[in-house]
Amino acid sequence: MVAEDQVWEALEEIPDPEIPVVSLVELGVIRSVDVEDGHVRIEFTPTFLGCPALEFMKRAIEEKVPGAEVQVIQDDSWSTDKITPAGREKLRAAGFAPPAPRLVQLQSQVHKCPYCGSTQTRLENIFGPTPCRSLRYCESCRQPFEQFKTI
């Protein structure tokens, strides 16, 4: 019989379809895993509602954990604060500035370059290649970069 931690381990192997350096678990979109009498129930929270990868993620979970019931929860229980510390570091290493914690972003508008760490960066576009990203430019190392939006 499958155990909860085995389900979590399986889910850790599913990469985000658009930013594959992080897994769905690191992205924080798996809200819960319940196993009862061999029946697996997984609660999944979408990131951005307009994200075209949502259906893909749901299907990837169903394929990885055959027979599992995947329930999509459309409330505001996911925010970018749910991204794990390991996930944030992987984003940064891949050139995506991780989202500032919500509390910090409300108090400051400082955005760090993921390449050189400089805070001398400017907004190029609130919107980017996917709904979850903005485009910024680093004045110090002259590198454009993508900023994960805080929501």
Sites of contact with other proteins (CB under 8 A): 48-52, 74-79, 124-131, 134-135, 149, 151
Helix axes 54-64, 4-12, angle to 10 degrees: 130
Which CB atom, from 4 or from 139, has the smaller least distance to other proteins? 139
Which CB atom, from 77 or from 119, has the smaller least distance to other proteins? 77
**Cβ 45 to other proteins, closest distance in Å?**
9
Q: Which helix (H) or strand (E) holds 121?
A: strand 121-125
**Cβ 49 to other proteins, closest distance in Å?**
4
**Cβ 34 to other proteins, closest distance in Å?**
17
Residues in Cβ contact with 51 at an 8 Å cutoff, skipping those fewer than 6 apart: 18, 130, 131, 132
Which CB atom, from 10 or from 100, has the smaller least distance to other proteins? 100
